[in-house]
């Protein structure tokens, strides 16, 4: 959720700053006239953290997420970026990242139109997009369609944990990386209940745990409950639930084109 608001007041707790924001407008439906947010006060992290807490009277463009059933919100990526709008209507990103600093000294509508575009194209902000962008930065995020032919076999990881290994017959490499597709895939328990002979779409690299989705009999992408994992599987393919393979191919092409992934 992205909204622009002016802080009406704030209070410090031992570990967080709590602030009330007046909501001016949002990219998503109706919001309350004001919302309460919590921001971390932890130091030693990154970027412009000294100024990355909202201040009274400031006007901001915030990416916010509601915390479960609680009435308060958190700011997503608050130490990476905090878009502030000056009295002249220009943006200050409070960031060192080029993807954010490119908006510095630009008028608010320029940023807002890009935010609206992203909100209307969920593939571009999906976990799969994040994986492909990491691949563009040197980490071989490979998305592959294939069939499990053997497994599971228990393996020790270099960090002392264990994973289940499955042999994987590649049917199609869906991503655009130069790296060869995997012939083995790795999953952590209890999120590793794959069936020999079934078709899956996987995303990952090497011996790290993979993101997994199934391909049903109608050629549609699904994520069974037993393959959900808040750390590994919850984000990569959720946006593609119910898509056809052709729709996923289009979405991946859109991701790569938007972020300049070869």
Burial profile 153-183: b = 16 or more Cβ within 10 angstroms, e = fewer: eeeeeeeeeebbbbbbeeeebbbbbeeebbe
Beta-bridge mates of residue 5: 23, 60
Confidence (pLDDT) at 88: 92
Name the average pLDDT for the chain.
Answer: 77
The structure tokens 């990355």 sit at 52
Confidence (pLDDT) at 233: 45
What does the alpha-carbon distance between residue 89 and residue 107 come to, in Å, rounded to a whole number?
A: 6
241 in helix, strand or coil?
coil
As given in the structure block, the two tokens for residue 86 are: 């000056």
Has residue 12 got a pLDDT over 60? no
Confidence (pLDDT) at 151: 85
As given in the structure block, the two tokens for residue 37 are: 């947010």
Task: Tell me the pLDDT tens digit for each residue of 155-202.
Answer: 877 777 778 889 999 998 887 666 777 888 887 765 567 889 999 988
Task: Tell me the pLDDT tens digit for each residue of 48-80.
Answer: 556 677 888 888 888 777 666 666 666 766 666
Task: Tell me the pLDDT tens digit for each residue of 201-254.
Answer: 888 776 566 788 888 888 899 887 666 554 544 558 888 889 999 999 999 888
CB-facing half-sphere around the CA of 194: CA atoms within 13 A:
34
Has residue 104 got a pLDDT over 90? yes
Task: Give the residue with greater pLDDT, 66 vs 12.
Answer: 66
Has residue 29 got a pLDDT over 70? no
The per-residue DSSP string of 8-47 comes to EEEEE-SSEEEEEEEEEEESSS---SEEEEEEE---SSSS
Strands (E), 130-161: 142-156
Has residue 1 got a pLDDT over 50? no
CB-facing half-sphere around the CA of 220: CA atoms within 13 A:
9
Q: 148 pLDDT band (50/70/90 cuts)?
A: very high
- Asked whether the whole model's pTM tops 0.75, one would answer no
């Amino acid at each position: 959720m992205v909204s622009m608001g002016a802080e009406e007041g704030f209070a410090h707790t031992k570990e967080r700053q709590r602030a009330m924001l007046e909501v001016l407008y949002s990219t998503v439906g109706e919001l309350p006239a004001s919302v309460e947010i919590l921001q971390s006060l932890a130091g030693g992290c990154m970027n412009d953290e000294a100024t990355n807490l909202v201040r009274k009277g400031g006007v901001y463009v915030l990416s916010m997420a509601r915390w479960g059933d609680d009435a308060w919100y958190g700011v997503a990526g608050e130490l990476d970026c905090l878009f502030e709008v000056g009295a002249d209507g220009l943006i200050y990103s409070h960031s060192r990242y080029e993807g954010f600093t490119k908006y510095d000294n630009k008028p608010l509508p320029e940023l807002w139109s890009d935010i609206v575009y992203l909100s209307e194209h969920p593939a571009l902000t999906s976990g799969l997009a994040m994986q492909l962008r990491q691949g563009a930065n040197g980490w071989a995020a490979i998305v592959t369609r294939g069939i499990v032919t053997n497994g599971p076999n228990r393996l020790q990881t270099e960090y002392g944990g264990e994973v289940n290994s499955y042999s994987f017959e590649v049917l199609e490499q869906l991503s655009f990386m130069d790296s060869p597709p995997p012939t083995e895939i790795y999953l952590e328990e209890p999120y590793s209940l794959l069936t020999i002979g079934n078709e899956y779409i996987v995303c990952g690299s090497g011996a790290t745990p993979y993101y997994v989705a199934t391909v049903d009999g109608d050629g549609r992408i699904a994520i069974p409950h037993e393959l959900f994992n808040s750390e590994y599987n919850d984000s990569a393919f959720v946006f593609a639930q119910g898509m056809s393979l052709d729709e996923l191919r289009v979405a991946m092409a859109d991701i790569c084109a938007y972020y300049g992934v070869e």
